[in-house]
Structure 1
Amino acid sequence: MERPIAFMQRDAALAEARNLRTKIRRGEFQDATSGYASGLAQGNVVILPKNWADDFLLFCQKNPIACPLLAVSLPGQPLLDALGDDIDIRSDVPEYRVFRHGEFTKETQDISDLWRADMVTFVLGCSFSFEDALMRAGLSLRNIESQSNVSMYKTNIPANPSQHFSGNLVVSMRPFTPADAIRAIQITSRLPKSHGAPIHFGNPEMIGISDISSPDFGDPVTIKDDEIPVFWACGVTPQLAIANARPPIAITHAPGKMLVTDISTEQLSIL
Structure 2
Amino acid sequence: MVDRRTPRSYCREVNVADLSPAQARERFRSGERGPTAGWCRGWTQANLIAVPSELRYDLLLFAHRNPQACPVLDVGEPGAYSTELFSGDLRTDLPGYRLYRDGRAVADLDEVVEEWRADLVPFLIGCSFTFERALLAAGVPVRHLEAGTNVPMYVTSIPCEPTGRLSGPLVVSMRPVPEKLVATAVEVSGRYPRVHGAPVHIGDPAAIGIRDLGAPDYGEPVEVRDGEVPLFWACGVTPQQAVLAGGVEYAIGHLPGHMAIMDVRDDRYRVT
Residue 106 of structure 1 is matched in structure 2 by: 107
Distance in 2 (alpha carbons) for counterparts of 1:39 and 1:13: 9
- Report whether the alignment pairs 1:60 with 2:66: no
Q: 1:146-197: per-residue Cα shift (whole Å, max 9, x none)?
A: 0010011111101010111101101000001122111010011110111000
Whether contact under 8 Å (1:14, 1:262) holds in the other structure is no
Shift of residue 78, structure 1, vs aligned partner: 1.1
- Report whether the alignment pairs 1:83 with 2:85: yes
Which of residues 21, 27, 33 in structure 2 aligns to 1:17? 21
Residue 53 of structure 2 is matched in structure 1 by: 50
Residue 266 of structure 2 is matched in structure 1 by: 265
Whether contact under 8 Å (1:190, 1:196) holds in the other structure is yes
TM-score by length of 1: 0.92
Distance in 1 (alpha carbons) for counterparts of 2:251 and 2:80: 16
Distance in 2 (alpha carbons) for counterparts of 1:109 and 1:53: 25
Root mean square deviation, CA, Å:
1.3
Q: Secondary structure at the match of 1:99?
A: strand
Residue 9 of structure 1 is matched in structure 2 by: none
Shift of residue 64, structure 1, vs aligned partner: 0.5
Q: Secondary structure at the match of 2:82?
A: coil
Residue 157 of structure 2 is matched in structure 1 by: 156
Distance in 1 (alpha carbons) for counterparts of 2:201 and 2:268: 26
Q: Secondary structure at the match of 1:112?
A: coil
Q: What amino acid does structure 2 have at the position aligned with 1:125?
A: G
Q: Spell out the pairing of 1:135-150 with structure 2 (5 A cutoff).
A: 135-150=136-151
Residue 215 of structure 1 is matched in structure 2 by: 216
Q: Secondary structure at the match of 2:231?
A: strand
Distance in 2 (alpha carbons) for counterparts of 1:52 and 1:19: 33
Residue 121 of structure 2 is matched in structure 1 by: 120
Q: What amino acid does structure 2 have at the position aligned with 1:63?
A: N
Q: Secondary structure at the match of 1:185?
A: helix
Q: What amino acid does structure 2 have at the position aligned with 1:167?
A: G
Shift of residue 13, structure 1, vs aligned partner: 6.7
Q: 1:53-90: per-residue Cα shift (whole Å, max 9, x none)?
A: 1111110111100000000101111122x214x31111
Residue 34 of structure 2 is matched in structure 1 by: 31
Q: Which runs of 4+ in 1 moved over 6 A?
A: none
Shift of residue 92, structure 1, vs aligned partner: 1.0
Shift of residue 247, structure 1, vs aligned partner: 2.0
Residue 182 of structure 1 is matched in structure 2 by: 183
Distance in 1 (alpha carbons) for counterparts of 2:116 and 2:239: 20
TM-score by length of 2: 0.92
Count of matched residue pairs:
257
Distance in 2 (alpha carbons) for counterparts of 1:139 and 1:15: 23
Shift of residue 16, structure 1, vs aligned partner: 2.7
Q: Secondary structure at the match of 1:255?
A: coil
Q: What amino acid does structure 1 have at the position aligned with 2:76?
A: S
Moved more, 237-246 or 159-168: 237-246
Q: What amino acid does structure 2 have at the position aligned with 1:59?
A: F
Distance in 2 (alpha carbons) for counterparts of 1:216 and 1:230: 16
Q: Secondary structure at the match of 2:20?
A: helix
- Report whether the alignment pairs 1:241 with 2:227: no
Q: 1:75-117: per-residue Cα shift (whole Å, max 9, x none)?
A: 111122x214x31111111100000011110010111101222
Q: Which runs of 5+ in 2 are unaligned?
A: 1-15
